[in-house]
Amino acid sequence: MDVARKDVETSHGVIAVEMTNGTGPDVVFIHGNSSSRRVFHSQFSSEVFAGYRLICFDLPGHGESGDALDKARTYPLPGLAEASEELLDNLGVKAPILVGWSLGGHVAIEMVSHSYPAAGLFIVGAPPVGPVISEGFRGNLLSGLASRGAMTAEDAARFAQNVFGAAVEPFMEEAAARTDQEFRSTLFSGARLQEKSNQRDVVSSTDIWTAVVNGGDDQVVNLDYIDNVPFSRLWRNVCFRLPQAGHAPFLQQSAAFNSLLSEFLSDVAVAGDC
């Protein structure tokens, strides 16, 4: 598939975007904390999705996007959702399927809480948490690296290794090191965390089809917690766990992941939701 890259001006800053040339429904991929759009290369290179227009972008303060113009506004979760919504509106994207990984999954759920007209929600490594955020995770998030300000080269290497395991590539370490050092500390500020929606309530009341796919060996999220969230419209009535995959199953078991995503996209289309 041919991929076009562009920079888009928004009120949150310049956002770097890539899109394939498919003519089918729009599928938007949102990456995780201290990562970049490049992590979705196994999806963008797959002929399984040739009929769709795939869209990915670097969140503000990440990858090739600029740092936020107003960091206090943009870096908390509601600000990231607003930046994503503004970007998609600028691109003329209507009713896309949102594929959110880790932080990107929380951004996607936050968009749904704003009544964003998504046709489908596909979340990976993103437990929909209520007021007690720790319930959705295992231990101190990545040994505290997920919320650390500036990262040394050693910190970035450990972060990438913990997230991607055997699938780690040099660009993942570079992405962690590049992330605006004010991003993580702002995102995880106790006061700012309280501004997010009750995501458990969001996925328990939405009428949007929601698929949940996780790595069966994920050491970051609490898979048992996710299994017990009362999703209101859970695709196939199961939270999938891909074997021999950790926090990044779209890379660690890309064939199985792509197959599930393809089936979800087809089911949403058949249901007339996109």
Which pLDDT does position 143 carry in this prediction?
A: 63
Q: Is 117 exposed, middle or buried (0-12, 13-18, 19+ CB in 10 A)?
A: exposed
Q: How far apart are CA 46 and CA 261, in angstroms?
A: 12
Average of per-residue pLDDT values in the chain: 94
Q: How confident is the model at residue 274 (pLDDT cuts 50, 70, 90)?
A: very low
Instruction: Give per-residue pLDDT as tens, 57-112.
Output: 999 999 999 999 999 999 999 999 999 999 999 999 999 999 999 999 999 999 99
Q: Are 155 and 148 contacting, i.e. CB atoms less than 8 angstroms apart?
A: yes
For tokens 């197959």, what's the residue?
A: 259
Spatial separation of the C-alpha atoms in residues 176 and 34, rounded to whole Å: 5
Span 233-270, pLDDT tens digits? 999 999 999 999 999 999 999 999 999 999 999 999 88
Q: Which domains does the chain carry?
A: 3-270 (3.40.50.1820)
Residue where the block lists tokens 């196994």: 42
Q: Quick check: 200 and 226 in contact, CB under 8 A?
A: no
